[in-house]
Amino acid sequence: EDKVVQSPLSLVVHEGDTVTLNCSYEVTNFRSLLWYKQEKKAPTFLFMLTSSGIEKKSGRLSSILDKKELSSILNITATQTGDSAIYLCAVEAGSGGSNYKLTFGKGTLLTVNP
Partner 1 sequence: DAGITQSPRHKVTETGTPVTLRCHQTENHRYMYWYRQDPGHGLRLIHYSYGVKDTDKGEVSDGYSVSRSKTEDFLLTLESATSSQTSVYFCAISPNLEKLFFGSGTQLSVL
State how far the Cα of 114 lies from the Cα of 81, in Å rounded to an integer: 6
- The correct pick among 12, 29, 45, 67 for binding partner 1 (CB under 8 A) is 45
Instruction: By CB under 8 A, name the one of 23, 34, 74, 85 that touches partner 1.
Output: 34
Gyration radius of the chain over CA positions = 14
Footprint of partner 1 on 74-103 (CB under 8 A): 88, 90, 92, 98, 100-103
β pairing state of 85-93 and 108-113: antiparallel
Give contact residues for partner 1 (rule: CB under 8 A).
1, 31-32, 34, 41-45, 48, 88, 90, 92, 98, 100-107
